[in-house]
Structure 1
Amino acid sequence: MPVQMVFPNYAVAEIARSTAFYEALGFTRNPDFSDETTSCMVVNEQVAVMLLEHAKFDEFLTAGQQRAPRDTLENLLAMLLGSRDEVDAFASAGAGAGGTLSKPVEANEWGMYGGQLTDPDGHIIDFFFMEAPQG
């Protein structure tokens, strides 16, 4: 059965701050699925990141589950971008909006050019561009 969309869910401390951060990265807030505690941040037609304030996020947990502490890595989102210029712009936008460049933007031995950004709530985004294989 094919997946229609993907919705990573992130627990955030302050919805306004987190929404502004992801808007600076070029994501668009979908007001139909957003409110004062939740922002649906559209990446493209198949992916939207759900930002949920802690109490709202906790409503999705079942008995005995708890949100990971801030210093614990819960996931890592990897994003393929369209060019080196987009990688540089993504890094600049994220750092300018309160994120931290947790790995510098650089080329690696696998033909990728990218870096790693940590958002204000500690969620990690790997972002990169990869040249098409020559052959």
Structure 2
Amino acid sequence: MSHKLFVNIPVANLDASVEFFTGLGFSFNPQFTDENATCMLVGEDAYFMLLVREYFQSFTAKPVGDPKAADQAIYALGVDSREDVDTFVDKALASGATVAGETMDQGFMYQRSFFDLDGHHWEVFFMDMSQMGEA
């Protein structure tokens, strides 16, 4: 069985979020884009729906949390090399993101993290399976 993953996150300013993530190399599906939401393509079957906070609230009876005040999830994104980790995170920081933690280098895995414009926590990593020990 095959699955598609859609992650819905609230954003304060949809246009600013689209500009930020476009600068990081993501594209958007215009069929699922209007003044309240857009569909960001992350992988072959992985998507992030960026929803204006008020529109996001219409899907839940719970209050919408403030991602600048508390983490509710960490969105981990694997890339092809250590250099890609640095390039991606450096672009995010230059576009208004803030550092979420120290760079971690465990030999087989290299990762950096940032908070996006709304405070959502992103982790970008490269895992070199050839450096992994035997299971």
Same fold (TM over 0.5): yes
The Cα shift of 1:97 comes to: 1.4
Q: Are positions 1:132 and 2:121 aligned together?
A: no
**Cα distance between partner residues in 1 of 2:25 and 2:7:** 17
Q: C-alpha deviations, 1:29-84, integer Å up to 9, x for none?
A: 1111111121211012211111101111011113xx11113402121111111111
Q: C-alpha deviations, 1:103-134, integer Å up to 9, x for none?
A: 2434125x211100110101011111011135
Q: Are positions 1:44 and 2:30 aligned together?
A: no
8 Å CA contact 1:8, 1:49 repeated in 2:
yes
Q: Secondary structure at the match of 1:88?
A: helix
Q: Secondary structure at the match of 1:11?
A: strand
* Counterpart residue number, 2:30: 31
Matching of residues 84-123 of structure 1 within 5 Å: 84-108=82-106, 111-123=108-120
8 Å CA contact 1:88, 1:105 repeated in 2:
no
5+ long unaligned stretches in structure 2: none
Aligned CA RMSD, in angstroms, stands at 1.6
Matching of residues 12-91 of structure 1 within 5 Å: 12-62=11-61, 65-70=62-67, 71-91=69-89
Q: How high is the TM-score relative to the length of structure 2?
A: 0.89
Q: How high is the TM-score relative to the length of structure 1?
A: 0.89
**Cα distance between partner residues in 1 of 2:71 and 2:53:** 16
The Cα shift of 1:24 comes to: 1.4
8 Å CA contact 1:37, 1:52 repeated in 2:
yes
**Cα distance between partner residues in 2 of 1:36 and 1:48:** 18
**Cα distance between partner residues in 1 of 2:83 and 2:109:** 13
State the 4+ residue runs in structure 1 displaced beyond 6 angstroms. Answer: none
**Cα distance between partner residues in 2 of 1:106 and 1:75:** 19
Q: Secondary structure at the match of 2:130?
A: coil
5+ long unaligned stretches in structure 1: none
